[in-house]
Amino acid sequence: MAGSDRHDVLEKVLCSYEAYYDVNRENPMPPFAAEASFAIHSEGYMLIKAAKLASYDAQEYVFFAEGKTLGLHTAQMLADKVWEETLARAIPKENHKSTDGLLVIVADVIDKEAASYIKKERRYQSYRHGLYGSSTLRIVARDLQEQKTWTNRHGRDLERLFRDK
């Protein structure tokens, strides 16, 4: 995605989410450019439905942000908003597996303090010692000028969003 402007890059990322997620571009939560959500309910049975082995619910909420420069204060503010919203939307109960929040940032320039913050940022919430599931914050940010992608530990698998196809 070398030489692309941030709007084009963000559009490509959003398109990759549209197949499986409900993408909201019209009225996302401020200050985000878009948001997406995904929910799944799964059940396991033994021969017949009456012999249910397991059942679980999982949700994922993705928030997309873009800007010319990403500084430390902005990165912290965006991560805080995503984490607050993720915890607010989580409904811990017996069959709750996970409710995860993802922050996808596309910026022309990401300063060193923001990149360092992203790499070190770890947020995890366990509900009733994991019996009622958990929530995790995953972050990926793309610096278009340096052509670098920064992630936190939980977001490493998100680097693939920015690989040239």
User: Domain limits of the chain?
Assistant: 6-162
Tokens of 20: 């499986």
Residues 93 and 98: their CA atoms lie apart, in Å, by 10
* Angle of CA points 37, 38, 42, to nearest 5°: 155
Tokens of 26: 């019209």
For the whole model, what pTM was predicted? 0.90
Residues 76 and 60: their CA atoms lie apart, in Å, by 20
Residues 90 and 77: their CA atoms lie apart, in Å, by 20
The pLDDT-based confidence of 165 (bands split at 50, 70, 90) is: very low
The more confidently predicted of residues 3 and 161 is 161
**Which tens digit of pLDDT belongs to each residue from 17-32?**
999 999 999 999 999 9
Q: How many CA atoms lie within 13 A of 160 on its CB side?
A: 4
Helical H runs in the chain?
Answer: 6-17, 72-89, 112-120
**Which tens digit of pLDDT belongs to each residue from 41-86?**
887 877 777 766 677 789 999 999 999 999 999 999 999 999 999 9
Whose tokens are 């920015």? That residue is: 162
